[in-house]
Amino acid sequence: MKNSILLAGLFSTIISCNRNTFEHDASGTFEATEIIVSSEASGKLESLQLVEGDVLKKNQYVGYVDSTQLFLKKMQLMAANKAIQVKRPDIPVQVSSLQEQLSKAEFEKERILKLLADNAATQKQLDDANSQIAVLKKSIDAQVNTLSTSVKGLDEETNTNKVQISQIEDQLQKSKIINPIEGTVLNKYIEEKEIVTQGKPLYKIADTKNLFLRAYIVAGQLEKVKIGQKVTVYITLSENKQKSYPGTISWISDKAEFTPKTIQTQDERQNLVYAVKIAVKNTDGLIKIGMYGDVNF
């Protein structure tokens, strides 16, 4: 009988110790930053290389939307630019014959000037030479102006095509599905060979290495917590075992989650609860989204 009483007392003491061990300042559930990755292009989903539960790296290539027509359009614009370059006039070559005529006319003028000095030529011959030179210069200026205008027009057409090529290259890049963050795939919403449109959700991914414990504290605990404060977070591994992680308070709500209709006594004021978020590094992967956790401030 005495042994039974002693054993019962010891068992009661152990339970009491365990309960004290599991007493914490606040409790809550773990959350993660979740992102729904959507298609940036429209067409047939040719490849989506992931399944639920996959751990993906940031900027990892995971699939693509059919971009055949975009590629062909790019090739067409590049061919058009080559055709434009062929039509682009070479101004020096185009006016070379007029330049040669101008050189001969100026040479003839110099010869007439010498003859005129020896009274072997007339003033009319000199005037005709000057007139011919003036006409040739105007002809050259006019042709250069016409050719320059043509070149500018072709250059503008080329630049327009280049802008369109850049737009298509951007669309081609968006046809590739690039994972935005490192994390775990939570849901997959579509399968390969299905038709997608721009903005259609493809999959949901969460950063499971950097979690948040959303806990609730009563009004009386507000003075004990502040943003940036270091705390200790606990998860329960078994009935009598917990594991601790360092955490940092990253957010404190400025509004009560629950407000009673009338607050008259000190006990009723404790019904005012405030949400807090505590950032936790899930270094060993034991913490799961939705799991309950405790915190000591």
Q: In what order do the strands lie in the sheet with 195-196?
A: 176-178, 61-65, 43-48, 195-196
Neighbours of 267 (CB within 10 A): 8
Provide the token pair at 226: 């502040």
* Domain end marker among 174, 207, 227: 174
> pLDDT by residue (tens digit) across 238-251?
878 899 999 999 99
Are residues 287 and 193 both part of a single domain?
yes
Q: Which of 38, 64, 43 is nearest to 194 (CA)?
A: 43
Residue 86 belongs to domain spanning: 69-174
Examine the pLDDT at 1 and tell me if it is beyond 50.
no
- Domain-embedded: residue 14: no
Helix (H) or strand (E) holding 288: none
At residue 128, the 3 state secondary structure works out as helix
- Domain-embedded: residue 18: no
> pLDDT by residue (tens digit) across 10-68?
333 333 444 445 688 999 999 999 999 999 999 999 999 999 999 999 999 999 999 99
pTM over 0.85: no
Identify the bridge partners of residue 45 per DSSP, sorted by sequence position: 65
- The total number of structural domains in the chain stands at 2
Are residues 272 and 198 both part of a single domain?
yes
